[in-house]
A = this chain, B = another copy of it.
Amino acid sequence: MTASAQPTHPRRSDATRAAILRAARERFAADGYERATIRAIAADAQIDPSMVMRYYGSKEGLFAAAAEFDLRLPDLNAVPPAHLGAVLIRHFLARWEGDETLVALLRAASTNPGAAERMRGIFADQLTAAVAVFGTDPAMTARRAGLVASQILGLAFTRYIVRLPPMVDTPPEELVSWIAPTLQRYLTGMPAS
């Protein structure tokens, strides 16, 4: 992990490992867990399929390595309270368009239990922690985070997975203007009657 912990080897085929991970993310994102084969991933990375097994042990291990993900949520305390929803939705849109790892995770989570578990972990830990700074009681905090996740993941599902035409065609800034108030209310509002 850390760059200069142990100079065991002068770095060997780290480039190969990186190429495998890149190809794996692409395939998992495009085809889902079951249809993405080790053979296809190896072909994309222009290496032998057995190398994938050697480096990552199994298909599950490869996915676990490829689906490592950090939402990189900003500190919500540093955001003007009135702009919380807009900041969040802009952050997620940028994070999604720029890194296909989250799409791979989203698609795989539908059929692979391990991927679903990781999805739960990411949103339970990272998103709930970010919401927790407002300091309401834990149950309400978890509920707010869950509601935010439902709209964020629904946006991703309709735009990147199912590709509903209106959700694909709508420009990001228009999506922001519609969805920001929703997140704002989930974060700071109260349920209606």
A binding-site residues for B, Cβ under 8 Å:
31-35, 106-107, 109-111, 116, 119-120, 123-124, 142-143, 145-147, 149-155, 157-159, 161-167, 170, 174, 177-182, 185-186, 191-193
Contact = CB atoms under 8 A, between A and B. Distances in A.
Nearest to A118: B162
A115 B192 CA distance: 35
B164 A192 contact: no
Interface of A is mostly: helix
Contacts of A107: 110-111
12 contacts: A34-B111, A109-B161, A109-B162, A110-B161, A143-B170, A146-B166, A147-B166, A150-B157, A150-B164, A151-B151, A152-B154, A153-B154
B191 A185 contact: no
Contacts of A155: 150, 154
A128 to B, nearest CB: 8
A81 B165 CA distance: 27
Contact of A174 (B152, B154, B191): B191
